Homo-oligomer: A and B are copies of this chain.
Amino acid sequence: MSEHETIPIVGGTGALGFGLALRFAAAGRPVAIGSRDTGRAEEAAGRVREQVPEAEVEGLENTEAATRGPIVFLAVPFRAQSENLTNLKSALVEGQVLVDATVPLAAAVSGKATRLLGVPQGSAAQQAQEMVPDGVTVVSALHTVSAASLSKLATPLDEDVLVAGDSKDAKRRVAGLIALLDGLRPVDAGKLEVARLIEGLTPLLISVNIRHKAHAGVKLTGLPEDLWP
């Protein structure tokens, strides 16, 4: 058994969630892949083990997965975010951190993936903060890393992950996990309300990708060496 905390990933059978599970497993961290369907979660765990034989990974129903570690990743499409958060109300407990990677693409309502929906709370991350139980802290992150690239261990990553949240401590802990993944640099982008602007990067990158047949990522220039002093 690893001495490390397990990393639960709600929506771990989706493209982004699976990529995260795979990369965290490759970094030697135990992972709990969550899905609505336990069978699909187990199948995804099997696919992680195929690529990372030493992986400590299990497949569970989402709410069960969410109990397995202190920092829970939520990687679901926007159209399923609210439903997932409702289900998680009975699972999440005070002190946990929820890392929200949801992007409110207009594609959620049969619009374009290059357009961002307005969210009443300001952003998907703020909707998450409104819906989690008291004492659970939301951190917004991981909107711009290509799921396709994450899911191919052989593809080197070299980009930034913008992290937003109202708790500096929670942001720092999430940044610590992201920094485990080779080639990803977490950058503190500010308070949770800034998530609105970060979520807008995804449809922007999708628009760039369409034009240039690429999997573009974001890197900020001009930052100091030590970003988490």
Measured CB to CB, the residues of A under 8 A from B are 114-116, 146, 149, 158-159, 162, 187-191, 193-194, 196-198, 200-201, 203-205, 207-208, 210-224, 227
- A interface, by DSSP: helix, strand, loop or mixed? mixed
- CB pair A146–B218 under 8 Å, yes or no, is no
- CB pair A212–B223 under 8 Å, yes or no, is yes
- CB pair B204–A189 under 8 Å, yes or no, is yes
User: Complex Cα distance A217/B223, Å?
Assistant: 9
- CB pair A219–B216 under 8 Å, yes or no, is no
Closest CB-CB distance, A94 to chain B, in whole Å?
27
Known: A116-B196, A187-B208, A190-B208. 13 other contacts (CB 8 A): A158-B221, A159-B221, A159-B222, A188-B211, A189-B208, A189-B211, A190-B207, A190-B210, A197-B203, A201-B201, A214-B222, A216-B220, A219-B221
User: Complex Cα distance A219/B222, Å?
Assistant: 10
Q: For residue A198, which residues in chain B have a CB less than 8 angstroms away from its CB? A: 204
Q: Choose among A116, A191, A193, A200 the residue with the greatest number of B CB atoms under 10 Å from its CB.
A: A200
Q: For residue A187, which residues in chain B have a CB less than 8 angstroms away from its CB? A: 208, 212
Closest CB-CB distance, A67 to chain B, in whole Å?
33
User: Complex Cα distance A200/B116, Å?
Assistant: 12
Q: For residue A190, which residues in chain B have a CB less than 8 angstroms away from its CB? A: 114, 204, 207-208, 210-211
User: Complex Cα distance A179/B221, Å?
Assistant: 18
Determine the residue in chain B with the shortest Cβ distance to A202.
Answer: B197
Q: For residue A191, which residues in chain B have a CB less than 8 angstroms away from its CB? A: 114, 207
Q: Enumerate 11 A-B pairs (CB-CB under 8 Å) in ascending A order.
A: A149-B222, A158-B221, A162-B208, A187-B212, A190-B204, A194-B203, A196-B200, A197-B204, A205-B220, A208-B220, A219-B219
